[in-house]
Structure 1
């Protein structure tokens, strides 16, 4: 037992001694936890530029434009009567959307409101961001049209339908930060451990033929395991609280899932590290995988919309199961029984990679 704790503490000393490993493995989660959500602190995009194509040139269209100008989410970049000119502005990314107020809008609204068309064209380059344009324009148009119809109530028998109220269940602020960071947080822990362990073991192997004894192997594992668990609790607890993200949905389920997830990732990292001969190669190869792993998690794009080979690949990745699992536990508050298949997958995968890492390091 003494030799186990000796290697347990020795690993911490080695991490502190290798500045690149310390920065990645320890400071990485701390700094990412502070700086990554800062970019999305406003939660919702503001001052989004739009082009208004006013072909009606009536008192109603001018009232709509004046009302839209008071909306903080939207900035009117240009008002024109030429739709092709507005389309070119969106294609060159000088604006995010086009609002088309067609000819005879005012008269058509009173004559036959159901056949009145107001066109809204949104750029698909940043769908999450420009959703604010749709909601902002909808509220502005609804307000102006209701006032206009009330003034001419004797002329028109049309009554606007009651608006649909969207109530988000698991992201009450409907913000981008509270949507994206809970999914990114497990990946931050995943990648910092993968890179840190890879550089540390590659550094050992660069200086000597590192064939750890059993106690040294598990002492190394336990030290990284401790760092990973603390990083998860720091992100899922303090950082979620600091930025007021949805949290604590299933607290006890999260406490159960964290050690299983970390054990799997540490085992995977130790196995992957055996394929590198120097620390520099670890960063060259593994850093670009962050984008791929996040894409295959199903957060930025539904897995069901991906080709079948990518769906099968995503189901083989521990990161996919971990990201989905912690969003379910922390934000949705699902019962632990629902994420049990993910826990079993991570447990079996962790045991498999731990055995493979032990065999490769002992043989090499």
Structure 2
């Protein structure tokens, strides 16, 4: 079988198989809208909190007014003491407790110890905890600026310096804009990997003979092209539609996206040749999605992982892809900035391509197809 015949047969098999169409085409489109949907608001809003105001002073009341005006926090009630607030939070009435202790005004105005602000949150909801903390910080900063600014002007001093924070790349400081660009690489890998492995495991299940080398390269090229289409669909149309921050180094993407698709397709070819049934391939590979996301370094930095685990992570195309595509798409990086990861990705293309070629074409001289 020639290169062209292998290419065309692979595309025909994909387009005529309900399983492959669902896995490699429909799933790509579905996840592009399904995954970002829960994070459309970007940040947690109206998080319910209980307040314990032990001082009940003008400053603490000002803080609570400012806090109630923020989008991130919704004050459910003001409670007399911490035990009552803790009991109500455990009962599910709120996700956090804000304590304004006695002496907080004196501490804020003079710097004397003894007073302060405490925040207790349910640790299961990190985004909500962050929203509560940001709301309290903003309210305290506003009250402090108002009080200290008035005092400073009374003595003929300048207003205290204001610190303005401007996000550099994730301009909305939202969760979707942070996580979706990284998850996109995992989605692109897994949908392509599942489909390729399922297809070639099914081929083995049907007793198909080994492929000629030309047919193997044709099949690999067909699967790679499918991955390239999916990659540019995400990095072009979907990132624009979802309003994800994007710099768009298109020339660099024209090189790196095909490399990524080729590496994933080659890995899928190799794994598919190891499984004896298509169902087994899917059953084994589906549970890997979450661990592979953590191995990208998006949830926890790679350099803070054990050395052996970080090295293992670099054998996965999606890990390299995150460290290539996020800088190129969101951070305005040049190709030279991601040259190291790109070289590793090219190495994976050669490694997995050689393994897949050896596995799927051996004995081709005795029983060609």
Using the size of structure 1 for normalisation, the TM-score is 0.90
- Could you tell me which runs of 5 or more consecutive residues in structure 2 were left unpaired when the two chains were aligned: 364-369
Aligned to 2:254: 255
Q: Which string of whole-angstrom CA distances, capped at 9 and with x for unpartnered residues, describes residues 109-134 of structure 1?
A: 45x24534222344443334432222
Residue in structure 2 matched with residue 67 of structure 1 by the alignment: 66
What is residue 299 of structure 1 aligned with on the other side?
298
Task: Supply the distance in 2 between the matched residues of 1:270 and 1:92 (Cα, whole angstroms).
Answer: 52
Tell me, in whole angstroms, the C-alpha distance in 2 between the residues paired with 1:7 and 1:247. 37
How is 1:161-172 mapped onto 2 (pairs within 5 angstroms)?
161-172=160-171
| Residue 325 (1) aligns with residue 324 (2) | yes
Q: CA deviation at 1:85?
A: 4.0
Q: CA 1:305/1:78 → structure 2, altered by over 3 Å: closer, same or farther?
A: farther
Using the TM superposition, give the Cα deviation of residue 47 of structure 1 relative to its aligned residue in structure 2, in angstroms: 1.2
From the superposition, tell whether residues 91 and 272 of structure 1 become closer, same or farther in structure 2 (CA, over 3 Å).
farther
Q: Once the 2 structures are TM-superposed, how far is the Cα of residue 219 of structure 1 from its aligned partner?
A: 1.6
Per the alignment, do residues 324 and 224 of structure 1 end up closer, same or farther by CA in structure 2, a change over 3 Å counting? Answer: same
Q: Tell me if structure 1 keeps the 8 A contact 2:107–2:116.
A: no
* Matching residue of 1:33: 32
In structure 2, the CA distance between the partners of 1:109 and 1:33, relative to structure 1 (3 Å rule), is closer
SS in structure 2 of the partner of residue 26 of structure 1: helix
Contact 2:317 2:345 survives alignment (8 Å):
yes
Shift of 1:291: 0.6
SS across alignment from 2:12: helix
Is the Cα contact below 8 Å between 2:15 and 2:21 reproduced in 1?
Answer: yes
Cα contact 2:23–2:194 (8 A) shared by 1: yes
Cα distance change of structure 1 residues 94 and 232 upon mapping to structure 2, 3 Å threshold: farther
Q: Which stretch of structure 1 is more off in the superposition, 308-317 or 199-208?
A: 308-317
Q: Distance in 2 between matches of 1:132 and 1:62?
A: 20
Mean Cα deviation higher: 76-85 or 228-237: 76-85
1:244 is matched with which residue?
A: 243
Q: Residue 219 and residue 107 in structure 1: after superposition, are their counterparts in 2 closer, same or farther (change >3 A)?
A: closer
SS at match of 1:287: helix
- Correspondence for 2:193: 194
Mapped partners of 1:156, 1:86: distance in 2: 41
Q: How does 1:217-232 map to 2 (within 5 A)?
A: 217-232=216-231
The more displaced of 158-167 and 271-280 is 158-167
SS in 2 for 1:39: helix
RMSD: 2.6
Q: Does 1:348 align with 2:353?
A: no
- TM-score when normalising by structure 2: 0.89
Q: What is the alpha-carbon distance in structure 2 between the residues aligned to residue 349 and residue 168 of structure 1?
A: 34
Structure 1 Cα separation of the partners of residues 306 and 88 of structure 2: 33
1:15 paired residue number: 14
How far apart, in 2, do the equivalents of 1:334 and 1:306 lie? 25
Aligned-pair distance for 1:226? 0.9
Count of aligned residue pairs for this structure pair: 362
Rate the CA distance shift 1:20–1:122 in 2: closer, same or farther, 3 A.
Answer: same
What SS is found at the alignment partner of 1:44?
Answer: coil
Shift of 1:17: 2.1
Shift of 1:293: 0.8
User: Post-superposition shift, 1:178?
Assistant: 0.8
